[in-house]
Structure 1
Amino acid sequence: MTANRPWRGARGMAAVGVPALWSSAAFANFQLNMTPGVTSVSHRIYELHMLIFWICVAIGIVVFGVMFWSIVHHRKSRGAVAAQFHESTKVELAWTVVPVLILVGMAIPATKTLVAMEDTADADLTIKVTGYQWKWRYDYLDEKVGGETLGFYSNLKTTPQQVYGDAPKDEHYLLEVDRPLVLPVGKKVRIVTTAADVIHSWWVPSLGWKRDAIPGFINESWTRIEQPGTYRGQCAELCGKDHGFMPIVIVAMNEPDYAKWLADTKAGLLAERDSATREWSRDELMAKGASVFQTCAACHQANGQGLPGMFPPLVAGQPFAAPEPLLAPLRERGFLDGAGNIHIGSVTQHAEIVMKGIPGTPMSAYAGQLSDVEIAAVLTYIRNSWGNTLGDVVQPAAIKALR
């Protein structure tokens, strides 16, 4: 009999599933509303959102209440006769004045919130955020290291093996970076946003706002984080093929912890610059290059095979089929032989492509993004991996000379 009544199973599942849905554990993840965030601006936005929400609820109750009352009390079965009137001054005044009062009541708090959001004056520090395909750069404009502005790139930490399913995904898959933006708690931070290539959008929900990063333009915002913690976001603008690979991570620290981080970061950057003057071993360069190549792997793949028709392989002798506009620059630079196979040129040729890019192709210039050590390391890694047996050991001093 059970086989002839499948609805019994469905009804049984519903009887079990509905209470489970409303259990405390399930309901904890069932969130439909905005989050209050961790800044004064996000709190004001949340309060404005709730104010307008309840105004809309009140309007809905009044409108639908009048509508349903009219349907019930003026139905045909009760002998109701439609009223005949035309151009009622009272009605026209009512549906004009009431909406105006509602809009004014909503506009006043909204305007105050917008004005507060745009007030970047009296900031304690200024951070410049620059969007790249596909990473962010953070410059602390009030801090100097060796006479230069303190700054660094923030890259996706998720490995290509995780992206392509060859390794297990962790809790923060596609939401973790190698270097987060670190900010002090309780300080007003002015954030200026721009981009170096295409339009990006810097968005951390806990801050309560997002701001477009547009090449050639500077957009201003500000924040004051009230609670220590880690806050995550992503690029909110479709900026290209790997748009989903440029997360944002902010670590908010108490003042003593922030001061220690600042001192340690400056010391680390100075040590990194000093390391460019010494001679590196092959093993050191290969290990460093494998780490730096994570930036390249999004386009050229972790195995160096590239993407057909878009990004060339980095393995000598591999064919590369692509539209002529992509092939011509490679051929001119000697990286493509007569048969259409990849030919890795001299160290100088290879370094120039990495540093200057190839105009008219997706290959960007990395001279301003990678240090001498990083460029030397990634060149050494590429020229000695995936069957490439050139044996070159590229020193940072050689890259510095090419600059």
Structure 2
Amino acid sequence: MKSLQLVLRQLSRVLLVCFTASAYAQESAFNMTQGVTNISEQVYDLHMLIFYICCAIAIVVFGVMFYSMYHHRKSKGAVAAHFHESTKVEVIWTVIPIVILVLMAIPATKTLVAMEDTSQSDLTVKITGSQWKWHYSYFGEEVEFFSLLATSQKAIDGIEEKGAHYLLEVDNPLVLPINRKIRFLMTSDDVIHSWWVPDFAVKKDTIPGFINETWTRIDKPGVYRGQCAELCGRAHGFMPIVVHAMEEDQYEQWLVAKKAEIAQAKQEAAASLTASLSMEELVEIGEKVYLERCSVCHQVNGAGIPGAFPAITGSKVATGDKNEHINVVVNGRAGTAMQSFANQLTDREIAAVLTYQRNALGNSVGDSVQAADVNQFKASKEGQ
């Protein structure tokens, strides 16, 4: 009697776990998100279907196991059967799993096919992964920008209090309209990254030299966050994704404003070529650029990381020939993590950060670099 009670108690625990998990799975913070797209809902429904099937299999398997343990126990005089093979049993345990797998494969295949269908899109956005930032380019709109981590270095170092979206905030979010099919073309400038936004059920690798495709159609306006999901280097954890989904009319207004902002930036960049800033002005601007773009590798104090990223302090480049210094920042260095900043920074920003590196962080060369110097260097290289 006691053994029967023990068996029933164990079986009830299994049933309780399965049914409780099924009943509260949708509310659990540990479960997959339902998201805000049709594809994300399909993925969630598929996930729950497989989960329920697994629960049903667990109930059957454990039920048969506990029943067999009780019904064929030694105290009841049960004697183990002796046989080497049974065609009937082999057919049963082969056919049943095949049927289950087929039933699981049908909805899974439909979802996978839908996820890969990028045809008839309303908007195409090119996403380029780069150590350690994202570059977004809107096809046919002449709008492109970089999106960088906005969490301050002081918050990362624990000097300032961490915000609600610590390491999940950027300076320029990707802005998209709702109710439109958006195709993403994905590639990389350097190593493999992975663009992942759980609410869209979109996770696609960005691979150097290749173009991957995926798509989404957002149903609800809001701010949705994700991360790079591929270990891509030292600052992998500092490469967040923020998508601001807007109503279609709001998106059109943002697009007009963004184009005006880009046009103004180009005018300011052109005007800076004839302007001559003082050493103090260049150092002030350069420090801000350095902290935002350079300190993640070369460190805030310019000491670098031995064996990985060279120091700025005492560097032969930062204290040597001005044109060589410009060349390294403008064109980068092949085979290293030093990327080209020609299209990431304006000529004035490049001039300022070069001046800062040459006259701060323990260096005191005493000269300055103007935007015109950077522009002239670029023009000379293009003419070669």
TM-score by length of 2: 0.85
**Who is 2:178 aligned against?**
185
CA contact (8 A) 1:275 1:373 kept: no
**How large is the Cα RMSD of the aligned pairs?**
2.2
Could you give the per-residue CA deviations for residues 41-65 of structure 1, whole angstroms, max 9, x where no partner exists? 1110000000011011101100110
Cα shift readout 1:350-378 (whole Å, capped 9, x = no counterpart)? 21111122334432222233232321232
> Structure 1 unaligned runs (5+)?
1-26, 145-149, 321-333, 336-342
Name 2:200's counterpart in structure 1. 207
Alpha-carbon offset, residue 98 of structure 1: 1.3
Per the alignment, residue 369 of structure 1 pairs with 344
Determine if the alignment matches structure 1 residue 55 to structure 2 residue 30: no
* 28 and 296 in structure 1: CA distance in 2 versus 1, 3 angstrom threshold: farther
Aligned to 1:88: 86
CA contact (8 A) 1:183 1:250 kept: yes
Q: How does 1:1-400 map to 2 (within 5 A)?
A: 31-144=29-142, 150-278=143-271, 279=275, 281-282=277-278, 285-293=282-290, 294-315=292-313, 318=314, 334-335=316-317, 344-400=319-375
Contact kept? 1:277, 1:397, Cα under 8 Å: no
Greater shift, 379-388 or 261-270, is seen at 379-388
CA displacement, residues 51-101 of structure 1 (integer Å, 9 cap, x when unaligned)? 011011101100110110011111111112233445433322221221111
User: In 2, distance between residues paired with 1:344 and 1:201?
Assistant: 37
Q: Match of 2:327, SS?
A: helix
The answer to whether the 8 A contact 1:184-1:254 is kept is yes
Aligned partners of 1:181, 1:158: CA distance in 2, in Å?
Answer: 17
Report the CA distance between 1:391 and its aligned residue: 5.0
SS in 2 for 1:57: helix
Judging by fraction of residues, say which structure has more helix.
2
Q: Distance in 2 between matches of 1:255 and 1:239?
A: 34
Letter of the 1:69 partner, please give it: Y
Residues 94-103 or 58-67, more deviating: 94-103
Query: Which letter maps to 2:226?
Result: G
Residues in 2 aligned to 1:395 and 1:266: alpha-carbon distance in whole angstroms: 27
Contact 2:35 2:201 in 1 (8 A): yes
Task: Give the share of equivalent positions with the same residue, in percent.
Answer: 56
Aligned residues: 349
For 1:128, what is the secondary structure of its paired residue?
A: strand
The residue type equivalent to 1:258 in the other structure is: Y
Partner SS state of residue 141, structure 2 = strand
1:274-321 residue CA offsets vs partner (Å, 9 max, x unmatched): 112222644654444333221101011122232234333323xx4x7x
1:393 positional shift? 4.5
Alpha-carbon distance between aligned partners in 1 of 2:86 and 2:173, rounded to the nearest angstrom: 64
Relative to 1, partners in 2 of residues 1:100 and 1:360: Cα closer, same or farther, differing over 3 Å? closer
1:401 and 1:351 map into 2 onto residues whose CA distance is 11
- CA distance in 2: counterparts of 1:116 and 1:106, whole angstroms: 16
